[in-house]
Chain A
Amino acid sequence: DTEVTQTPKHLVMGMTNKKSLKCEQHMGHRAMYWYKQKAKKPPELMFVYSYEKLSINESVPSRFSPECPNSSLLNLHLHALQPEDSALYLCASSQGLMDVWGGAHTQYFGPGTRLTVL
Chain B
Amino acid sequence: ELKVEQNPLFLSMQEGKNYTIYCNYSTTSDRLYWYRQDPGKSLESLFVLLSNGAVKQEGRLMASLDTKARLSTLHITAAVHDLSATYFCAGGDYGQNFVFGPGTRLSVLP
Contacts and interface: CB of A to CB of B under 8 A. Distances in A.
Contact of B97 (A45, A102, A114): A45
A42 B97 contact: no
Interface stretch (A13-21, A64-72, A103-111): A103-111
Tell me the interface secondary structure of chain A in the complex: loop
Interface in A2-46: 33, 40-43, 45
B89 to A, nearest CB: 10
A108 B45 contact: yes
A90 interface: yes
A102 B103 contact: no
Nearest to B88: A42
Interface residues of B, number: 25
B15 interface: no
B103 A104 contact: no
- Which of A40, A42, A111, A112 counts the most B-chain CB atoms under 10 A from its CB? A42
Contacts of A96: 95
Given A106-B33, A111-B42, A97 B95 contact: yes
A102 B33 contact: no
Given A103-B30, A103-B31, A104-B31, A109 B96 contact: no
Interface of B: 30-31, 33, 35, 40-45, 48, 50, 88, 92-98, 100-103, 105
5 contacts: A90-B42, A92-B43, A104-B92, A104-B94, A104-B95
